[in-house]
Amino acid sequence: MTDGTRGTQIAALEAQRNELRTRADGALDGERRAAIARIVMVAMFGVMSNFGGESTRAMMMIGAAYSLFSITTLLIVRRRTATIAGSMWKPLVVTLVDFVFVTTMAIIDTRTSGFSPGQHAIASAILISFSIARMTMWHVIASVALAMASYVIVTTQAADAETQTTIFICGGYFVIGVMTGLSQRAVVRMFASLRQRDNLTRFMPQQVADRIIAAGHGALAPVEREVTVLFSDIRGFTSLSEGLSPREVLHMLDDYFGRMSHVVKGHDGVVGKFLGDGLLAFWGVPDRLDDHAARAVRAARDMRRVLAELNAHRATSGLAPLEVGIGIHTGNVAAGMLGQVQAEYTVIGDAVNVASRVEGLTKEHGVDLLISETTWSQLPEPRRGEKLASAEIRGRKAPIVLYTLPPD
């Protein structure tokens, strides 16, 4: 097995586990809502029994025990954190206890001539609905099976079991189960999709994230591809931040990075990472873009415009303007998800290093934007810029030709 294949399989397994964690979180949230609904159901049937004057000592004891169970369950699920294993089997235990209580109460009703098949059918249907937010379809199947068994047991005990009515009620449970199961699957998929989309849109445009989700986990598998990399850096950041408090520095960087990330994503680029006061962005992965070089250069021009707007805003508050350097280079990289706890999609390779070196040369040449020849050659005609210099790049034998664009 090659390292690339193994890495893809590990990434797929990690993605699957993340999806299970997401579903476990959603199931726990659903269990909290079900716990509240259970208390409301207990209160409703308690009020009905008291108004009907049909309560017996046994019914009151069973009702009190179920009320205590409902309150305890609510307190437990409010304080627990979700686990994959717990979300699989614990709801089954709660479901079994629910149906034991409901069935026991109905059997007691049959002995006091207060049994109502319709009331019992509604109670069981409510319990089936609790499984809509649980982990798997097995929870729905278990609820439907218990509801059917409970109805048959109770009506048999009451000598009120009519074949046609029993088939109708059990068929109704089955229909409710089908609808609940379909709704459960839709809720689980929607919840997982929203969670995945939120994670991906941290560093890539929403339209790209949507295409990645539609394509499946394989879209983020490691690849080697030609891309265009952009590095930007705030000049004089150390001296600029010396007179500021840590909170003011963070506010300044948050404002700056927020604006620049919006520009990158607006041109279908990916924000790779923030490096102190620096920004790494790239085009061409995970989406394959034939015009990745042109998009990167257009983004750089927009970054200039947005920086001018930011500096105009800072001037109104008496703050010093920000100056940045931007370097762009096109070349081959390895791209993929990196990290398991805090995963990020990133690029690694010589092209990344060259882009960083090109950005570092902007101050030496007195410009805010430098473009390598490999990027320049892929720009559409007419090219609005000029050849600036040939520079030696550390780690490369041949010099690299640099171009710049005049201010807009």
Nearest to 269 by CA among 294, 235, 306: 294
pLDDT (0 to 100) of residue 72: 92
pLDDT (0 to 100) of residue 199: 67
* Distance of alpha carbon 188 from alpha carbon 20, whole angstroms: 10
For residue range 44-97, what is the model confidence (pLDDT) as tens digits? Answer: 877 776 665 556 777 788 888 988 999 999 999 888 787 877 787 888 899 999
Dump strand ranges (E) for 131-184.
none
Q: Which one-letter DSSP state was computed for residue 318?
A: T
Q: How confident is the model at residue 341 (pLDDT cuts 50, 70, 90)?
A: very low
* Distance of alpha carbon 125 from alpha carbon 172, whole angstroms: 9
Q: How many CA atoms lie within 13 A of 335 on its CB side?
A: 27
Q: What is the mean pLDDT of residues 175-200?
A: 78
Q: What is the mean pLDDT of residues 255-283?
A: 91
pLDDT (0 to 100) of residue 86: 79
Question: Is residue 114 within 8 Å of residue 144, measured between CB atoms?
Answer: no
Nearest to 384 by CA among 328, 301, 326: 301
Residue 406, preceding bond cis, omega within 30 degrees? no
Structural domain boundaries of the chain? 3-200, 220-404
* Distance of alpha carbon 69 from alpha carbon 41, whole angstroms: 13
pTM of the model: 0.61
Angle between helix axes 246-266 and 292-316 (nearest 10 degrees) is 140
* Distance of alpha carbon 172 from alpha carbon 293, whole angstroms: 61
Question: Is residue 232 within 8 Å of residue 325, measured between CB atoms?
Answer: yes
Q: Above 50 in pLDDT, residue 389?
A: yes
* Report for 148-162, 234-248, 250-264: range of highest mean pLDDT: 250-264
Question: Is residue 333 within 8 Å of residue 374, measured between CB atoms?
Answer: no
Please identify, in words, the CATH class of the domain defined by 220-404: alpha beta
What backbone torsions phi and psi does residue 392 show, to the nearest 5 degrees? -80, 130
pLDDT (0 to 100) of residue 48: 72
Question: Is residue 325 within 8 Å of residue 235, measured between CB atoms?
Answer: yes
CA angle 121, 125, 126 (to 5 degrees): 120
pLDDT (0 to 100) of residue 256: 94
pLDDT (0 to 100) of residue 178: 92
* Distance of alpha carbon 199 from alpha carbon 210, whole angstroms: 12
* Distance of alpha carbon 66 from alpha carbon 306, whole angstroms: 62
62, 297, 350, 393, 404 from 396: Cα distances, Å: 81, 23, 9, 6, 21
Q: How confident is the model at residue 214 (pLDDT cuts 50, 70, 90)?
A: low
Q: Above 50 in pLDDT, residue 354?
A: yes
Label residue 294 exposed, middle or buried (CB < 10 Å: 0-12, 13-18, 19+): middle
Residue type at position 323: E
Q: What is the mean pLDDT of residues 317-333?
A: 93
Mean pLDDT of all residues in the chain? 83
